[in-house]
Amino acid sequence: MRTPRARVGVFGIGLAAYWPQFPSLKERLEGYQRHVEAHIAADIVSAGLVDTPQAAAAAGALFAASDLDLILCYVGTYATSSQVLPVVQRMKTPVVILNLQPCDALDYENTGTAEWLANCSTCCVPEISNAFTRCRIPVRIISGMLFSDEPWHELAQWTHAAAAARALRTARIGFLGHTYPGMLDMYSDSPRAFPSPSNPWSIPKWKKLAPPSPSHRMSPKITSAGPRKSPSRSIA
In a domain, 46, yes or no: yes
In a domain, 104, yes or no: yes
- Using a cut of 0.85, tell me whether the model's pTM lies above it: no
pLDDT above 70 (res 7): yes
Look at residue 169 in the predicted model and tell me its pLDDT. 80
Strands of the chain (E only): list them: 7-13, 43-50, 70-75, 95-101, 141-145, 173-174, 201-202
- The residue-averaged pLDDT of 156-172 equals 89
DSSP 85-106: HHHHTT----EEEEEEES-S--
In a domain, 210, yes or no: no
Sorting pLDDT into bands at 50, 70 and 90, what band is 208?
low
Q: What is the C-alpha separation between 45 and 62, in angstroms, rounded? A: 8
In a domain, 175, yes or no: no
- The residue range of the domain holding 155 is 7-170
In a domain, 55, yes or no: yes
Element housing 128 (H / E): helix 125-134
What's the sign of the alpha-carbon dihedral 107, 111, 115, 119? positive
In a domain, 36, yes or no: yes
Sorting pLDDT into bands at 50, 70 and 90, what band is 167?
confident
In a domain, 147, yes or no: yes
pLDDT above 50 (res 210): yes
- For the chain, the domain total comes to 1
